[in-house]
Structure 1
Amino acid sequence: MKQLVTLALFTTATLGQAQITIGQADMPSAGDTMRYQNDTPTTFDAGDTGPGHIWDFSNLVPQGEGADTAVTVASTPLLYQFFFNNPFIYPDWDADYAMKGASIGFAQLQIQDLYDYYKKSGSAFSNVGFGATINGLPSSVQRDPVDHIFRFPMDYGNVDSSFSTWNVSVPTILYFGEEQWRHNTVDGWGTLYLPADTFEVLRVESRISRSDTIYVDQFGIGFQLPAIETIEYKWVAQGMDAPVLTITTLAGNPVGARFYYDPTTIATGLNTVINSDRALRVMPNPADQLAWVALPVDAVSAQVLDAEGRTVLNVPTTGRQGNTSFDVSGLASGLYTLQVTGRSEVRTVRLSVQH
């Protein structure tokens, strides 16, 4: 009988799922920091997707932490800003923020201290170019056309493509140019489980093909490198700035995973633990009215906390074990933390409330 009740609660929670829409407000702004962890999955089924889907990546193992910070365009080197802080002459390249990028270098070309520039609007989120020190000279380099990373509004079933190109020329030395084709398909929506969090997401398949052209002045020869296709699978959630999970594949094999992982610890008189308990699940998530949590057997108390860490709702635990319901209809829409205190540890999970 208990198994039947649990199944019924899970079914009700699953039916409570609703497809989300991603837009401009869900992209980064200057001042935002996006923390992530890296892992290298040994297997990945790209076809595991669809509407109302559940993806369980709770077995990903944090193997290296990183962070990207969006900075104001004005805080980057002045000569980098030429195309990206000039809304009257170059409105299509007027960037909203910049982000530190990786240096590029080979033989006679060194591109260092690089910043990528990004623009967001009601119709797209785009990489409009970069600024860098190229062979010792600060330079501003447009993507023309720009690379549209996402088109908005983003919904399940959307398909779009983007072509972009950029080039640099070092007089008497060489010319280097890159062409890129991006094809996006929003091929799934549903719930994503990560080691420390649960999100309602859209999944985007991005097929990216790049081809480089090099001309060496010294030898009077040029050549084009064959296009190489990589595929990025991105799970995008509302209000999270960056995809909460990205898996990159090459020739069908996963070569890396990058996922959201909140490193916040909770200091209590009990053992302090990172909020990474894989067994703590809330359904549905996002929730509108009733939500369910599977309480651990040693649960002493449970609270919903707001962004400031204040208790806004107490969840009953006395005499409860297994799926316990609680009503979030009185909470404002937003992101919360459900904290469950046991006899020896504290568990947390992210909870989204949407009305």
Structure 2
Amino acid sequence: MKHLLLSVLAISSLSFGQITLTDQHFAGPSESYVFSTLTDPTIDYATTGANYIWDFSDLVPQDQRGLITRPSSQISGLSIIQFGSFAPAPYKATYFNSSTDLPLDQASGILPIPIEELNAFTKKTATAITSIGYEIVSNGQGIGFRSDTIETRYALPMTYGNNYESRGYTDLDLNPIYDAQWKQYRHRVTNVDGWGTVKTPFGTFQALRIHHVVDEFDSIYISFQGFGTWVPIPVPLAHEYEWRSTSDKEAVMRIRTSEIMGNETVTAVEYRDDFNGLGLTESKLAVSFYPNPVVNELHVSTPEMAENFVIVDQSGRVWKQVSGSSKDQVIDVSELASGSYSLVVLFSNGYTSVKFIK
């Protein structure tokens, strides 16, 4: 009986830390997240298993990046037809956000048109998180492209031992802007290869460890004076290791690597964090604003055009981000809860921060 009781207790203890991820544990529209980033070629991305403890608590951040998910109500231009409320069910976007999923740095040297921004569109259901297409912004105009084959980023519900694969194909035909095409093929293989406790400078989490392998082939067709050719864009085999918890809707830890000839090289390390202005230089540019306290609209005047306006609460959480469009900017704050906030104005050469009350 004693041995039986100990066995039951051991089994109960072993299963306590295992979690299951559902669609409620993934980002939705109008949400914002901050990640601290760093480079560390020696970080251990390979070790994993059941009831494992990953300790990344001694990481030292070097920079930060933000992620803001924009609701489908903010889709504009021709992209409304592709991903808005009248789109076919598989392509009705839950949200969209700025993306680096296409190798824009390489493509910009090939395409004769400027690409100012790339947005990716996501659909979230109870069974999957899918990538349904892109939007390229050129000369201020957004053009949407549905993925002919929809890639599943996460098959849900997700638990330890799950594995799946998915393919994505997108044909970005830039006509009539220019006689050019961009084709992207992706093959994703995902394995939930660990569960346990992950520690970061942001906190300690019960998490699943997820390993994605993405094999991508990109090519661009360029036509000039009646002659056209396909130009391949080399994309190394990519690995993404992420730790996801039920207490946060984004990965609490993520490591990316590129594989060449069987050898993986760490290309990015990031973890969920609060906003702290890391990597920014304080600017001497003065910013004026009114009213304070504010109810619905915050009027901001800057001596030169700002790149972005970021609203942060006292804990460092980013609540809103708006691209600069005028030296006299009007920011809608009607959805903010009552409290104290900081408005961080990002210029090309630094930032200015001011406090206001809602």
Same fold (TM over 0.5): yes
* Correspondent of 1:241 among 249, 263, 269: 249
Map 1:119-130 onto structure 2 (within 5 A): 119-130=123-134
Pair 1:183–1:79, CA change in 2 (3 A): same
**1:198 aligned partner:** 204
Match of 1:154 among 158, 177, 189: 158
**TM superposition score normalised by structure 2:** 0.65
In structure 1, C-alpha distance between the alignment counterparts of 2:158 and 2:36, rounded to whole Å: 25
1: distance between equivalents of 2:245 and 2:150? 24
CA distance in 1 between partners of 2:13 and 2:58 (Å) = 21
Tell me, in whole angstroms, the C-alpha distance in 2 between the residues paired with 1:62 and 1:13.
37
| Partner SS, residue 110 of structure 1 | coil
After superposition, the C-alpha distances for 1:281-302 in whole angstroms (9 at most, x for unaligned) are xxxxxxxxxxxxxxxxxxxxxx
* 8 A Cα contact 2:181 2:220, kept in partner: yes
Unaligned runs of 5+ in 2: 1-9, 277-313, 316-358
8 Å CA contact 1:17, 1:190 repeated in 2: no
Give runs of ≥4 in structure 1 deviating > 6 Å.
Answer: 11-14
Residue in structure 2 matching 1:98, options 88, 96, 99: 96
Structure 1 residue 137, shift from structure 2 partner = 4.4
The structural deviation recorded for 1:16 is 7.4
Tell me if structure 2 keeps the 8 A contact 1:245–1:259: yes
Separation of aligned partners in 1, 2:15 and 2:173: 55
How big is each residue's C-alpha offset from its partner over 1:217-265, in whole Å with a ceiling of 9 and x where there is no partner? Answer: 223222434552010001011141111111001121211111012358x
Once residues 202 and 253 of structure 1 are traced to their aligned partners in structure 2, the CA distance between those partners, rounded to angstroms, is 23
* Shift in alpha-carbon separation, 1:64–1:12, aligned structure 2, 3 A: farther
Structure-1 separation of matches of 2:163 and 2:15: 26
3-state SS in 2 of match to 1:78 = coil
**Which amino acid in the other structure matches residue 187 of structure 2?**
W
Corresponding position: 1:256 with 2:287 = no
Q: Summarize the Cα distance change of 1:86–1:137 in structure 2 as closer, same or farther, 3 Å threshold.
A: same
Describe the superposition over 1:81-130 as per-residue Cα deviations: whole angstroms up to 9, x where unpaired. Answer: 2221135x511011111112358333324332332211111110112112
Q: Residues 193, 17 of structure 1: CA spacing in aligned structure 2 closer, same or farther, 3 A cutoff? A: farther
1:115 corresponds to? 119
Give the counterpart letter for 2:144 in structure 1.
Answer: S
Distance, in Å, in 2 between the alignment partners of 1:212 and 1:74 is: 31
Q: TM-score, normalised by structure 1?
A: 0.66
- 1:186 is matched with 192
> Which residue of structure 1 aligns with residue 43 of structure 2?
44
CA distance in 2, matches of 1:168, 1:25: 31
Counterpart CA distance in 2 for 1:39 and 1:14 is 35
CA RMSD of aligned residues (A): 2.6
Q: Counterparts of 2:109 and 2:75 in 1: how far apart (Å)?
A: 24
Deviation, structure 1 residue 40: 1.0
SS in 2 for 1:243: coil
1:269-280 to structure 2, matched below 5 A, reads none
* Aligned length, in residue pairs: 255
C-alpha distance in 1 between matches for 2:38 and 2:245: 20
Alignment of 1:166-315 (within 5 A): 166-171=170-175, 173-218=179-224, 219-226=227-234, 228-251=236-259, 252-263=264-275
Are the structure 2 counterparts of residues 56 and 186 from structure 1 closer, same or farther at C-alpha, using a change threshold of 3 Å? Answer: same
- Are the aligned partners of 1:17 and 1:52 in contact in 2 as well (CA < 8 Å)? no
2:157 is paired with a residue whose SS is coil
Counterpart-to-counterpart distance in 2, 1:238 and 1:68: 19
SS at match of 1:55: strand
Q: Which moved more, 1:104-113 or 1:12-21?
A: 12-21
